Structure 1
Amino acid sequence: MFKQRVLTALLLAPLALLAVFYLPLAGFAVFVSVAFTLGAWEWSGLCGLANRTMRAMYTGLTAVILLILYALQPVALQYLFADTLTLTLIIAGVVWWLLAVILVLSYPRSQVFWGQRDWLKALLGWLTLVPAWSAIVFVRGLDYQQAEFTGAWLLFGLLGLVWAADIGGYIIGKPFGKHKLLPKVSPGKTLEGMLGGMAFVLLMVSAVGYWQGWPADIGYWYLAAIGLAALSVFGDLTESMFKRAAGKKDSGAFLPGHGGILDRIDSLTATAPLYALLLALFGGFN
């Protein structure tokens, strides 16, 4: 299982980076849309749509939503506040993930509000996927006319943060994890693993800060990184909560050793909207 997990990761990481840096904006949007549409198929299995026809309809409708957004959202948007649709979606994503943190912390009591409402779980699936899609496409297109790879490097920073939190959590949590974080949600998550992931993220920020000559606003980088790293953990925990409610171990079986697509992008869907909003507010793009 571990060997299979490593081999899959060694294939996925370069594929993601090739898409980020070398696909044109339109091709990149299609790449992300395919991944998120597969994620929608998996989510349909978590929200009570046991009938394959209903699951296909949910997945197809998700694809249509992303297609409409692709037609309406500028793929190279320099200033977030210049486009009401993109801004609304990203803020909706940030609000949803703040609510998701509360739902996770109060689980299983929170299940009373959403556990028996399949339509609500389907809606929460769109709140998970659609704002994240919009945020990722927005970040990749930042400053595209002036510098083609600015958005790619910014998106690489987000991926690096998520990967650092995941790797640090595994490396520290696996041998040293003693205190369960939220055992009713995910028995495997430990406090030590979460702190290990944050430590790896701070090391990554320090390396970038050193490479950039320690910018004056490096303190804000650290604060943002800590917040995003914590949110990445709750992205994982939120999916675990829905899987537990649905009686599933993995969201799907698309990726050998990793489970499903959602199991790989849950932290990314949680952090992308906030990351995009922080870039819009403090990134100097205007």
Structure 2
Amino acid sequence: MLKTRVITAVVLLAILLPVTLFAPIPVFGALIRIVVVFAAWEWARLLKAGKNGSIVYAAIAGAVVILSAQLEAPRPLFQAAGVFWIVAGPYVLLRKPTLAAGVWRVFLLACGLVIFAACWHALIAARTAGVAFVLSLLLVVWLADIGAYFAGKAFGRHKLAPSISPGKTWEGAVGGWAAVMVVSIAAIALHILAPTLYSALAAQLGLGRALFVLTVLVAFSVIGDLFESMLKRQAGVKDSSGLLPGHGGVLDRIDALLPVLPLAMLLLG
């Protein structure tokens, strides 16, 4: 399993890293569009749309992304996705409705089209702002995840959401937040690779408010992760798919990014 996981990670990095760092934005956009289509396919599968239904849904999601590229500004998409995560995200985690049935399934399939389009636009906007900017945005989620893993292993005692994801703890969440704060403060103070998400927030809002916004983003990275965990738990599966051997599915890798990307670009104004 470890060997498979490492091989998959190396292949993904060999594709994603050069495209992110060096490719023109249209090429970067095309690659992210492919990622979005696969994620949409997994989203539909978790909502039990059926084999053919999931393929059709993924195709529709790809078409929506292409058509939405004609928008003069993606801010309405960021706003719509933001409303979903701020309102529906916490509600679902607290009330735990059956997501793959009835009105909820229709609602989530419709919202998914907006969520995936908003994420695509957020990544394009971030990449347009610069390589360092898009990497710093992704780093918020990566640091929160890595910090949560190690802090949870070392200090985890109190379960964060035992009925949804038993392995997550409050201590881990705080550790992930602390990792983001340390790196963000260092990046702002030392002007590392500016402009980054951190320097842009500090310049626009001041240090205190910038750190508050980053705290909000960390919180929503956890909500995104737990939301997908709930989808998987209700669907009775461990991974969103087997597309990435050793890593699960595409959605497993980007679940925390789904709320963070549009919210970050929205909060930047």
The TM-score bracket by the shorter chain reads 0.7 to 0.9
Deviation at 1:17, TM superposition (A): 3.4
Count of residues paired in the alignment:
258
CA contact (8 A) 1:115 1:245 kept: no
SS at match of 1:58: helix
Deviation at 1:2, TM superposition (A): 5.0
Name 1:95's counterpart in structure 2.
83
TM-score by length of 2: 0.87
> Kindly tell me: are residues 106 and 114 of structure 1, through their superposed partners in 2, closer, same or farther at Cα, counting changes over 3 Å?
farther
Name 2:58's counterpart in structure 1.
59
The residue type equivalent to 1:270 in the other structure is P
Deviation at 1:4, TM superposition (A): 4.3
The residue type equivalent to 2:163 in the other structure is K
How much is the aligned-residue C-alpha RMSD, in angstroms?
2.2
CA contact (8 A) 2:140 2:180 kept: yes
Deviating runs (4+, > 6 A) in structure 1? 213-216
CA contact (8 A) 1:100 1:238 kept: no
Name 1:254's counterpart in structure 2.
243
Deviation at 1:242, TM superposition (A): 1.3
Name 1:224's counterpart in structure 2.
213
> Kindly tell me: are residues 3 and 129 of structure 1, through their superposed partners in 2, closer, same or farther at Cα, counting changes over 3 Å?
same
**Which moves more between the two structures, 239-248 or 263-272?**
239-248
Write the distance in 2 (CA, Å) between the matches of 1:62 and 1:160. 26
CA contact (8 A) 2:144 2:175 kept: yes
Write the distance in 1 (CA, Å) between the matches of 2:207 and 2:13. 27
TM-score by length of 1: 0.82
Write the distance in 2 (CA, Å) between the matches of 1:256 and 1:175. 28
Query: Are 2:185 and 1:196 aligned?
Result: no
SS at match of 1:250: coil
Name 1:132's counterpart in structure 2.
119
Name 2:21's counterpart in structure 1.
21
Name 2:35's counterpart in structure 1.
35
> Kindly tell me: are residues 125 and 114 of structure 1, through their superposed partners in 2, closer, same or farther at Cα, counting changes over 3 Å?
same
Name 2:153's counterpart in structure 1.
174
Name 1:146's counterpart in structure 2.
none
> Kindly tell me: are residues 169 and 65 of structure 1, through their superposed partners in 2, closer, same or farther at Cα, counting changes over 3 Å?
same
Name 1:116's counterpart in structure 2.
102
> Kindly tell me: are residues 197 and 7 of structure 1, through their superposed partners in 2, closer, same or farther at Cα, counting changes over 3 Å?
farther
Name 1:155's counterpart in structure 2.
134
Write the distance in 2 (CA, Å) between the matches of 1:104 and 1:175. 30
> Kindly tell me: are residues 253 and 30 of structure 1, through their superposed partners in 2, closer, same or farther at Cα, counting changes over 3 Å?
same
SS at match of 2:160: strand
Unaligned stretches of 5+ in structure 1? 74-82, 143-150, 281-286
Unaligned stretches of 5+ in structure 2? 193-198
The residue type equivalent to 1:276 in the other structure is M
Deviation at 1:48, TM superposition (A): 1.5
The residue type equivalent to 1:235 in the other structure is G
Write the distance in 2 (CA, Å) between the matches of 1:34 and 1:242. 22
> Kindly tell me: are residues 211 and 6 of structure 1, through their superposed partners in 2, closer, same or farther at Cα, counting changes over 3 Å?
farther
> Kindly tell me: are residues 113 and 241 of structure 1, through their superposed partners in 2, closer, same or farther at Cα, counting changes over 3 Å?
closer
Deviation at 1:265, TM superposition (A): 0.7
SS at match of 1:106: helix
> Kindly tell me: are residues 7 and 164 of structure 1, through their superposed partners in 2, closer, same or farther at Cα, counting changes over 3 Å?
farther
Deviation at 1:220, TM superposition (A): 2.6
1:269-284 alignment runs, 5 A limit: 269-280=258-269
CA contact (8 A) 2:40 2:57 kept: yes
CA contact (8 A) 1:104 1:237 kept: no
CA contact (8 A) 1:140 1:152 kept: yes
SS at match of 2:48: coil
Write the distance in 2 (CA, Å) between the matches of 1:20 and 1:278. 23
The residue type equivalent to 2:178 in the other structure is A
Deviation at 1:100, TM superposition (A): 3.3
The residue type equivalent to 1:187 in the other structure is P
Deviation at 1:176, TM superposition (A): 2.5
Question: In percent, how many aligned pairs have the same letter?
Answer: 36
